[in-house]
A and B are shown apart, each in its own frame.
Chain A
Amino acid sequence: MTQKDIKGILFLFLFALPTAFFFNWFSPFGIALVGQWEISKGTVNAISKTDSVNSLIEINNPEIIKQIVQKKEKIIIDVRSRDYYDQGHLPSALSFPLIDFDDYIHQLLNSINRQSAILVYCASFECTDSHIFADRLKDLNFNDVKVFSGGFRQWQEMGFEIEKNEK
C-alpha cells in the first residue's frame, strides 16, 4: 500500500462520512444517531423519522400480559402471518395478519368495537408489525390500543399456555 493509496482512502472517507450524515439529517427516512437496541426497554428499532414504534403504548412485562390474557381484560390480536398463528398463539387471540390488513379491515371493524381495549402482538422484540398495526387502528379511531413488545417469542420463552390450530 503506497502513501497515495492511504491519502486516497482518507479522501474517500472524508468525502463519504459528512455526506452520509448530511443526507441522513435531511432524508425523510433518516434515523437517529443512536437507536433503541435494548430489549429490556421494549421493541428494538433504529428510531427513524418514519417509525411507527411508540414506546408509550408498549407493555414490556410478560407477567402483566399473562394477567390480561387470563382475566380477558383486552381483545388480543395476533398480527403475524396465519401460518405462524396456526403453529401457536396466545390463548383466545384473534388472527389479523398485518399483511392482510386492507383485506380484513371490514371483518375487523365488525368484530371489534372502537371502545374496546386491544392488545396487539407480533413475533418478538425485533418485530415492529404490532406497532404498525396499532398505528393503523389509531387512525381508525381506536383509542385503547397497547402493544406486547416481547411478542409471541417472549410468551413462549416464559413457558405460558399456548393455543394451536390443529390442521
Chain B
Amino acid sequence: MKNNYLGIILFVIKLTLGITFIYASYHKIADPAQFAKIIYGYAIFPELSINILAITIPFVELIAGFSLILGVFPRSALLIINGFLLIFILMIGFNLLRGHEFDCGCFVFSNRPHALSNIYLLIRDFLLLISGIYLLKKTTAS
C-alpha cells in the first residue's frame, strides 16, 4: 500500500515537472524575440550569447520535459531539469539581491517582472527543484 502511494506521488511529480517544462517552452518557442529580451533583462549574459540561448533553451526544456514523461533517459532529463531550475533560482535570486528589476515600460512587452512576481517565481522554482531532487533520488540508475 505504501509503495502504491509512493508510486502515485512519484508519477505526479514526474508529470508536474514534465508538463511545467513543456508548457514553459511553448511561449518561448512561439516568441523567441521576447524571450531574448527577457534574457537581456537579467543583465547577466554576454550580448553575443543572448540570441543563442533564446533559440536553444526552450528546445532543451521541451525535449527534457517529454523525455521525463516518456521515460526516455529519465534520470538524464531530470538532471537537465534540475540544473535549469538551479540556474533559474540563482539568476532570480541574484537579481533580487542586487535590486535589479527590468521594466522596459512597453505595451508589447507583457512579461514585466516585479519583485513580487520574482519572489513567486523563486518559491515555485525552489519547490520544483526539491521535487526534482527527490524524484532523481527515487529514480534508480539501471
Pair B62/A21 contact, Cβ less than 8 Å: no
A55 on the interface (CB 8 Å rule)?
no
Pair A12/B60 contact, Cβ less than 8 Å: yes
Chain B binding surface, main DSSP class: helix
Closest chain A residue, CB of each to CB of B30 = A29
Residues from 84 to 129 in B contacting A, C-beta threshold 8 Å: 102, 104-109
Pair B50/A127 contact, Cβ less than 8 Å: no
Give the residues in chain A near B36, CB-CB below 8 Å: 31, 35, 46
Interface residues on A, range: 35 or more
Give the residues in chain A near B109, CB-CB below 8 Å: 126-127
Pair A46/B33 contact, Cβ less than 8 Å: yes
- In the assembly, what is the distance between CA of A8 and CA of B139, in Å? 14
- In the assembly, what is the distance between CA of A18 and CA of B75, in Å? 22
- In the assembly, what is the distance between CA of A20 and CA of B60, in Å? 8
- In the assembly, what is the distance between CA of A16 and CA of B115, in Å? 32
B29 on the interface (CB 8 Å rule)?
yes
Scan B51-65; emit 1 where CB is below 8 A from any A CB, else 0: 110111011101110
A129 on the interface (CB 8 Å rule)?
yes
Question: Which residues of B are at the interface with A, using a C-beta cutoff of 8 A?
Answer: 29-33, 36-37, 40-41, 47-48, 50-52, 54-56, 58-60, 62-64, 67, 73, 75-77, 79-80, 102, 104-109, 141-142
